[in-house]
């Protein structure tokens, strides 16, 4: 039976990194402000958004890398609209690379890139052989961009519906987290509170859905015959 424990472990690590990064952004917002931060970003020219997109893409291609903290960072650095657009572009690029790595080189290489998440691969593949199956699985595992990108490449799912569903559904947490980063510099306390609540709702719903999904798809235990 595939072991979901490594994936849950990665989720907890990513959560810790996210809140540390969020606290750092809050600290920066109090002492620097949006104007100073974005002046630094503008001084970097085109390299700032390019670096951001590549960094976001790399967190999907190399699955153990935590990428959730990049969303609020994008909102703080580039503003709400540009932050969402750049994050979505990074997600699309990383998901496309992961998809074609799986499709070209097969499961062994995909499992190496997935690291601890590879234990869930068989369970995910059992659900997503069709466009509808991928859509449902994507909704259930809304934060598992990397796992589903590699898994989709191992199926016969065409690229176009894959990337539209993959990026389209990811816009939900992307908008919330990017808006959270932007609100630390530009929004009111009420806006930040609403976005934090939305983030927690999505996080709790995703965790519950993942737990239920893992329970429903696990293989039944084989009883050991008595001698």
Instruction: Note the pLDDT tens digit of each residue in 78-130.
Output: 888 999 999 999 999 999 999 999 999 988 888 777 765 556 677 777 778 78
pLDDT band at 140 (very low <50, low <70, confident <90, very high): confident
The answer as to whether 223 is a domain residue is: no
Q: 33-37, 59-63, 109-113: lowest mean pLDDT where? A: 33-37
Give pLDDT, residue 158: 94
pLDDT band at 206 (very low <50, low <70, confident <90, very high): low
Assess contact for 157 and 128: CB atoms under 8 A: yes
The answer as to whether 224 is a domain residue is: no
Count of domains for the chain: 1
The answer as to whether 198 is a domain residue is: yes
pLDDT band at 224 (very low <50, low <70, confident <90, very high): very low
Residue 108, number of CB atoms within 10 A of its CB: 8
Could you tell me which of 121, 148, 146 has the C-alpha nearest to residue 214? 121
Assess contact for 25 and 74: CB atoms under 8 A: no
Q: What percent of the chain has pLDDT over 70?
A: 62
| Mean pLDDT of all residues belonging to the chain | 76
Reduce the DSSP state of residue 77 to 3 states and report it. Answer: helix
Q: Of 18-32, 93-107, 200-214, where does the model show the most confidence?
A: 93-107
Statement: the pTM of the whole predicted model exceeds 0.85: no
pLDDT band at 27 (very low <50, low <70, confident <90, very high): low
Fill in the DSSP letter of residue 116.
G
pLDDT band at 181 (very low <50, low <70, confident <90, very high): confident
Distance, in Å, from the CA atom of 49 to the CA atom of 57, rounded to the nearest integer, reads 12
Give pLDDT, residue 169: 92
Give pLDDT, residue 187: 59
The answer as to whether 225 is a domain residue is: no
120 Cβ contact list (under 8 Å, min separation 6): 2, 4, 7, 147, 214
223 Cβ contact list (under 8 Å, min separation 6): none
Could you tell me which of 183, 212, 211 has the C-alpha nearest to residue 197? 183
Give pLDDT, residue 88: 95
pLDDT band at 28 (very low <50, low <70, confident <90, very high): low
Tell me what the mean pLDDT of segment 199-205 comes to.
61
Kindly tell me if the per-residue pLDDT of 31 is higher than 60: yes
Give pLDDT, residue 205: 61
Name the residue with higher pLDDT: 1 or 46: 46
The answer as to whether 76 is a domain residue is: yes
The answer as to whether 11 is a domain residue is: yes
Q: Where are the alpha helices (DSSP H) in 32-158?
A: 34-43, 47-61, 70-78, 80-105, 107-114, 121-125, 131-140, 145-153
The answer as to whether 226 is a domain residue is: no
Could you tell me which of 91, 71, 97, 64 has the C-alpha nearest to residue 181? 71
The answer as to whether 129 is a domain residue is: yes
Q: Which domain holds residue 130?
A: 5-217
Could you tell me which of 200, 207, 107 has the C-alpha nearest to residue 147? 107
Tell me what the mean pLDDT of segment 146-163 comes to.
91
Distance, in Å, from the CA atom of 139 to the CA atom of 209, rounded to the nearest integer, reads 9
Quick one: tokens of 95? 């998901």
């Amino acid at each position: 039976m595939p072991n979901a424990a490594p994936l849950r472990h990665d989720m907890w690590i990513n959560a810790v990194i996210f809140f540390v990064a969020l606290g750092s952004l809050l600290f920066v917002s109090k002492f620097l402000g949006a104007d100073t931060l974005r002046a630094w970003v503008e001084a970097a020219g085109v390299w700032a958004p390019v670096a951001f997109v590549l960094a976001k893409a790399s967190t999907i291609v190399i699955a153990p890398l935590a990428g959730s903290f990049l969303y609020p960072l994008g909102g703080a650095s580039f503003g709400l609209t540009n932050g969402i657009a750049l994050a979505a572009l990074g997600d699309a690029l990383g998901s496309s690379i992961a998809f074609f790595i799986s499709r070209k080189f097969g499961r062994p290489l995909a499992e190496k890139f997935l690291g601890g998440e590879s234990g869930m691969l068989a369970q995910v593949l059992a659900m997503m052989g069709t466009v509808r199956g991928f859509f449902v699985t994507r909704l259930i595992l809304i934060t598992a961009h990397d796992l589903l990108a590699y898994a989709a490449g191992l199926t016969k799912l065409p690229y176009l519906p894959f990337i539209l569903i993959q990026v389209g559904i990811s816009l939900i947490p992307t908008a919330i987290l990017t808006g959270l980063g932007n609100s630390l510099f530009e929004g009111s306390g009420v806006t930040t509170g609403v976005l934090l609540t939305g983030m927690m709702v999505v996080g709790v719903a995703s965790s519950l859905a993942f737990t239920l999904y893992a329970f429903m798809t696990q293989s039944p235990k084989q009883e050991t015959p008595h001698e």
